[in-house]
Structure 1
Amino acid sequence: MHRVGLVLFPGVQVLSLAPLSVFEMANGEIGRAFYDVTVLSESGGQIGTSIGAVVDTQRFGRQRFDTVMFGGATTITQSSPKLLDFVRKSARSARRIAGPCTGAFVLADAGILDGRRATTHWHFAREFRSMYPRVTLEEDRIFIIDGPVWTSAGMTASLDLALAMVEKDLGLDIARNVARKMVLFHRRAGGQSQFSALLELDPKSDRIQSALAYARSNLRTLHSVDQLADAVHLSPRQFSRAFRAETGRSPAKAIETLRLEAARLMMEEGRHPIEVVARETGFANRERMRRAFLRAYGVPPQALRRQIGVAA
């Protein structure tokens, strides 16, 4: 059995509890209690979350865990000496230690992240960098694994972190099945950007949202803006005008952004040849994809792949 300790504190953001659902679903998927979860706090007893819900906890002390995770918050607070002492003891005794969201600040306060790579919620990245110059912060990442120390972006990124733990412990198929049961769109790779192309485009109307969803599902076969306009029953001129008004971009530029996101994800999740990535994401050939990568990232696909390999 794999013992997991989740450490909370008064005012903890309620989504800090979300990873526990991943471990619960993994137990159900394999039909036995592989993960044994304990919710902890410095004083034990009831802990109020950021939304007012109360959680029962056990006082942390000499318990030993395979995985210890620290909750996050919507503000940065000073860690208590007892908490920092428990962080350091856990780093020595646990197989892995994790700081999702602002939990990374707790690990950094304890000195656990010195000389390591880490990430946190993008909103707190500048503050983190100024407070902990000895940590190599990669703010535009979903999660980062540096040896036994795991950190992640904020909010729902803790689910991606927990799913990666399940994959490490029980295999890729179990992690995929858990993601499906939790109705997650897909399991995001750790090196993936914290920002979604669809979220960044932020279309307002159902029609433009549908057009983008259609484009994302048909990147390989989508060859023109006319196809996209036809899919939502507008003339190309009407569609282009409405699309630019809602997103601030031309349809062609938006489609390229979706292709770039899909291509980068393919490279992060597998070792597909560049030609295959270009074909599957609609770039048609590697030269066209190379030019798009240079415009967007400043480096060609091969260089980005090397960076992903180093991060892995």
Structure 2
Amino acid sequence: MQRRVLIVVFPGFQLLDMAGPADVFGLVALLSPGDCYRVEVVAVRAGGVSAGNGVTVTASAISEVTGPVDTLMVAGGMSVPDHVADRELVAGIAALAGRARRVASVCNGAFLLAQAGLLEGRRATTHWLAADELSRRYAGVEVDADPLYIEDGHVWTSAGVLSGVDLSLALVARDHGHALARKVARGLVVYLHRPGGQSQFSTPMRALTPRSEPLRELQAYIEANPAADLSVPALAARARMSERHFSRVFTEQTGMSPGRYVERSRAEVARRLLEVTGLPLDTVARESGLGSPETLYRVFRRHWRVTPGDHRRRFQSKER
């Protein structure tokens, strides 16, 4: 069965928002010819459309699309604010969405879905830098800036840029199973298929870079030694500060308390161990510094909204 995927672009779109999903769907045809997708790029007018980095792609006109559509995907880009007022583009997206089995956006392409009325009353995500603006402009949209992607009914939205690959892998998994999605991920040498509930940010990305060199060194120590004593007294001693002063300065300079930073860092170590090893849960908990399977479970549910066992079953590569 061949599924038709339309990717909507416009002048100044983010090339990776189109190319990432296109390569995911394209590789399916090579790995599983009986389950292939046909990707088409569409725009308001047929012809060349220049991405924000200057690369030009050839698109068909939205108005000339005929026949059924399986998946409609809207790219994002720095120029999206300039195109939200493009009535022809927005109307074209709305018309195609009415014929599509499902609709998706990458990054701030969510603004175009919202402008077309497709996110009204739905939960959605976008690039974290644009989330507040999306919420402000479209009061009827429940914006969650944290997840990599969100599925609400037949509408999917994803976070910034490369999370479009995660979303596309999720669509492949929904259509053809997680085994094929994992093969595609390995074929593209990208991060193993991540759950949508996973945060857009790793711990270092979420935290600010400290001005203080000792705190920057301490961050590196925390990342490299998850099973060490990372209590506030121990960390304060390494930083040669009093506990009270350390807690205040660390929180001020990173935007995150020491305890929260350590917990998130350990949770990410546990996630990686679950994905690339067959270690039992008690070993994963111990090596990640979380101590016990019970703590591992609580922390995993808090940060990724899935259990450790579910995460391993769904996203672990069998080729270790």
Say what the alpha-carbon RMSD is for the aligned residues. 3.9
- 1:161 and 1:72 map into 2 onto residues whose CA distance is 14
* TM-superposed deviation, 1:303: 7.3
- 2:152 and 2:273 map into 1 onto residues whose CA distance is 22
1:119-142 CA-to-partner distances (Å, cap 9, x unmatched) read: 111111111111100111111111
186 and 306 in structure 1: CA distance in 2 versus 1, 3 angstrom threshold = closer
Correspondence for 1:233:
none
162 and 306 in structure 1: CA distance in 2 versus 1, 3 angstrom threshold = closer
1:260 and 2:267 matched:
yes
Correspondence for 1:156:
162
Percent identity over paired residues: 35
Correspondence for 2:95:
89
Q: Is the 8 A contact 2:17 2:161 kept in 1?
A: yes
* TM-superposed deviation, 1:80: 2.1
180 and 116 in structure 1: CA distance in 2 versus 1, 3 angstrom threshold = same
Correspondence for 1:49:
51
- 1:211 and 1:28 map into 2 onto residues whose CA distance is 43
1:87-118 CA-to-partner distances (Å, cap 9, x unmatched) read: 22222211111111111111100111111110
1:282 and 2:289 matched:
yes
1:274-308 CA-to-partner distances (Å, cap 9, x unmatched) read: 98975574322367569xxxxxxxxx659749966
265 and 140 in structure 1: CA distance in 2 versus 1, 3 angstrom threshold = farther
TM-score, scaled to structure 2:
0.73
Q: Is the 8 A contact 1:101 1:121 kept in 2?
A: yes
SS at match of 1:38: strand
* TM-superposed deviation, 1:240: 4.0
Q: How does 1:150-299 map to 2 (within 5 A)?
A: 150-200=156-206, 214-215=224-225, 222-224=227-229, 240-241=238-239, 254-261=261-268, 278=285, 281-285=288-292
- 1:281 and 1:254 map into 2 onto residues whose CA distance is 14
287 and 56 in structure 1: CA distance in 2 versus 1, 3 angstrom threshold = closer
- 2:221 and 2:12 map into 1 onto residues whose CA distance is 41
- 1:92 and 1:13 map into 2 onto residues whose CA distance is 25
Correspondence for 2:30:
28
Q: Which stretch of structure 1 is more off in the superposition, 24-33 or 102-111?
A: 24-33
Q: Is the 8 A contact 2:267 2:299 kept in 1?
A: no
Instruction: Give unmatched runs, 5+ long, in structure 2.
Output: 241-245, 275-279, 308-320
* TM-superposed deviation, 1:14: 1.5
1:172-197 CA-to-partner distances (Å, cap 9, x unmatched) read: 01111111122223322111111111
Matched letter for residue 65 of structure 1: V
Q: How many residues align?
A: 278
- 2:118 and 2:50 map into 1 onto residues whose CA distance is 27
**1:72 counterpart (76, 101, 105):** 76
Correspondence for 1:115:
121
Matched letter for residue 25 of structure 2: F
Correspondence for 2:15:
14
Q: Is the 8 A contact 1:189 1:265 kept in 2?
A: no
Q: Which stretch of structure 1 is more off in the superposition, 153-162 or 31-40?
A: 31-40
Q: Is the 8 A contact 1:5 1:67 kept in 2?
A: yes
SS at match of 2:126: coil
Q: Is the 8 A contact 1:79 1:106 kept in 2?
A: no
- 1:276 and 1:224 map into 2 onto residues whose CA distance is 17
* TM-superposed deviation, 1:170: 1.5
- 2:46 and 2:118 map into 1 onto residues whose CA distance is 24
Correspondence for 2:6:
5
Q: Is the 8 A contact 2:198 2:304 kept in 1?
A: no
Instruction: Give unmatched runs, 5+ long, in structure 1.
Output: 226-235, 268-272, 291-299
Q: Which stretch of structure 1 is more off in the superposition, 74-83 or 13-22?
A: 74-83
Matched letter for residue 69 of structure 2: F
Matched letter for residue 109 of structure 2: G
- 2:50 and 2:99 map into 1 onto residues whose CA distance is 28
